[in-house]
Amino acid sequence: MAADLPPDLGDSVVVLTVQGLDELVTRLSALGYEVKGPTRGESAIVPGSVKSSDDLPRGVHDVQSPGSYRIVHNDDDEELFGWAVGPESWKKEYFPSSQVMWRGEVVGDTVVFRQPDRSHTPLAIVGARPCEVVALRILDRVLEEGVHRDARYSDRRDSSFIAVVECASPADTCFCASMQSGPGIDQGFDVALTELNDEHGHRFIARSGSPRGADVLSSVPTRPANELDLEARTLLLETASRAMSRSLPYGEVANLLARNVDHPRWTEVAERCLSCGNCTSVCPTCFCSDVHDTTDVGGAIERRRTWSSCFDLEHSYLHGGSVHESSASRYRQWMTHKLSTWWDQFDSTGCVGCGRCIVWCPVGIDITEEVAAIAARDEVRVGVPSRRGAS
Ligand code: SF4
Ligand code: SF4
């Protein structure tokens, strides 16, 4: 994603101190938002309640590799955002892993249906990552902008405030730069922050991305950004981009996978894949769900929607059997949907390069390595229709 700023900045880019960030959090609370952000959990950075910068993971860094995640703490570090992404994305705030669709009750000889209460406290996220904001925009296309609008999702998305923090410390498993979803960001947020901590002090470059973001920024103490601030931001984002050793061929991967549906690599990866579904649980764009009805002897009825996974055998169950019976076909379904057929359905990629599926795969299967393996033995066929997104 483009990270350059326009040359004529005027007063549109400002600088906040850490105290200014505290005031921004206080302002959001005063406006009635429930403020959440990244916090230090027992062994991971997890979403939590944020009342001030003291709740953010100061001095915490993450070490991520295929099948491995740990956090380390350095008391000498002042950075609040010196890490990449935690295991949980912000998806669950809008699309919970389990939610009641409706309840019913048998009254006499009829059933009375009740919609769950959709009232909620608006959410403000302080510290979402660019890749996570892009992932939410992808989910918007599915759950808010499609034919079947998810009212609960829409209510929460439309009322929420997003303060994104650009990424200076990508993990070894990140590849957002190649997916045009980081480490900088220029749309999809209310406020965008870039944390700088150098000889000129610990501070945040701040930009508004919406009228409500501009309102909030104008209510906290700031100063205009100067050339030194902007150069520091540019250098920070360039360094972060260069630090990513993994990548995907953004403009080519859709066609590559479309013409390699019978590639031997699908069988090879299936020998390692446990079909556990961890990759889909942690993915910020996976949206498959299942619906369960329960009744009790007293006549109470409940319909609940829960996250589902294309790695479940039942997920593709049709007319007495599963369409995707083998692990190879399930893995292929997952990866080709993410990177290829998503373009046909939603006119975008389904992957933002956060690397969670690599980190949280118990056997360390790496989506970038799998694409590279397929590309290395590309079985080019004539007549395969072009996928959108191909350059
Ligand atoms: S497929 Fe993997 S890298 Fe891509 S968005 Fe999902 S979890 Fe992140
Ligand atoms: S790729 Fe990894 S995380 Fe995904 S289902 Fe297979 S073993 Fe589980």
| Count of other CB atoms within 10 angstroms of residue 374 | 21
Whether residue 205 sits in one domain with residue 162: yes
> Which pLDDT score, from 0 to 100, does residue 287 have?
97
Last residue of a domain, one of 197, 219, 243: 243
How far does the centroid of ligand 1 lie from the alpha carbon of residue 112, in Å? 41
pLDDT of residue 44: 98
Domain-located, residue 112? no
Q: Which ligand is closest in space to the CA of residue 139?
A: 1
Q: From 68, 269, 278, give the residue whose CB has the most ligand 2 atoms within 8 Å, as the site to mutate.
A: 278
Q: Say what the pLDDT of residue 10 is.
A: 44
Question: pLDDT tens-digit profile of 175-229?
Answer: 999 999 999 999 999 999 999 999 999 999 999 999 999 999 999 999 999 999 9
Check whether residue 20 and residue 44 sit in a common domain.
yes
Q: Are both 287 and 311 inside the same structural domain?
A: yes
Which residue minimizes the CA distance to atom 6 of ligand 1?
283
Q: Where do we find the tokens 């901590």?
A: 197
Label each residue of the chain as H, E or C: CCCCCCCCCCCCEEEEEHHHHHHHHHHHHHCCCEEEEEEECCCCEEEEECCCHHHCCCCEEEEEECCEEEEEECCCCCCCCCCCCCCCCCHHHHCCCEEEEEEEEEECCEEEEECCCCCCCCEEEEEECHHHHHHHHHHHHHHCCCCCCCHHHHHHHHHCEEEEECCCCCCCCCCHHHHCCCCCCCCCCCEEEEEEEECCEEEEEEEECCHHHHHHHHCCCCEECCHHHHHHHHHHHHHHHHHCCCCCCCCCHHHHHHCCCCCCHHHHHHCCCCCCCHHHHHCCCCCCEEEEEEECCCCEEEEEEEECCCCCHHHHEECCEECCCCHHHHHHHHHHHHHHHHHHHHCCCCCCCCCHHHHCCCCCCCHHHHHHHHHHCCCCCCCCCCCCCCC
Question: Do both 274 and 183 map to the same domain?
Answer: no
So what's the pLDDT on residue 319? Answer: 87
CA of 352 to the centre of ligand 1 (A): 6
- My answer on whether 78 and 187 are in the same domain is yes
Q: Do the strands 34-40 and 123-128 form a parallel or antiparallel pair, or are they unpaired?
A: parallel
User: How far, in Å, from the CA of 339 to the mean position of ligand 1?
Assistant: 10
Of 243, 261, 287, the one marking the end of a domain is 243
Q: Is residue 265 part of a domain?
A: yes
How many structural domains are present in the chain? 2
Are 269 and 236 part of one and the same domain?
Answer: no
Asked if 259 and 239 sit in the same domain, the reply is: no
- pLDDT given at position 382: 41
Q: Is residue 102 part of a domain?
A: no
Q: Is residue 382 part of a domain?
A: no
Q: What is the pLDDT of residue 350?
A: 98
Residues of the chain with pLDDT under 50: 1-3, 6-10, 382-384, 390-391
The reply to whether ligand 1 has any atom less than 6 angstroms from the CB of 283 is yes
In a domain, 51, yes or no: yes
Q: Is residue 139 part of a domain?
A: yes
Q: Say if strands 223-224 and 289-295 run parallel, antiparallel, or are unpaired.
A: unpaired
Residues 342, 274 share a domain:
yes
> Residue 274's domain spans which residues?
253-299+306-376
- Looking at residue 7, what is its pLDDT? 44
Residues 137 and 159 in one domain: yes
If asked whether residues 173 and 287 sit together in one domain, one would say no
One domain for residues 272 and 191: no
Question: Is the minimum distance from the CB of 353 to ligand 1 under 6 angstroms?
Answer: yes
Check whether residue 206 and residue 350 sit in a common domain.
no
The residue among 218, 243, 268 that closes a domain is 243
- Has residue 46 been placed in a domain? yes
Residue 334 located in a structural domain: yes
Q: Decide: 356 in ligand 1 pocket, CB within 6 A.
A: yes
| Binding site membership of 274 for ligand 2 (Cβ less than 6 Å) | yes
Is the N-terminal amide bond of 87 cis, ω within 30° of 0?
no
Is residue 328 lining ligand 1, measured as CB closer than 6 Å? no
What's the token pair of residue 295? 């009744």
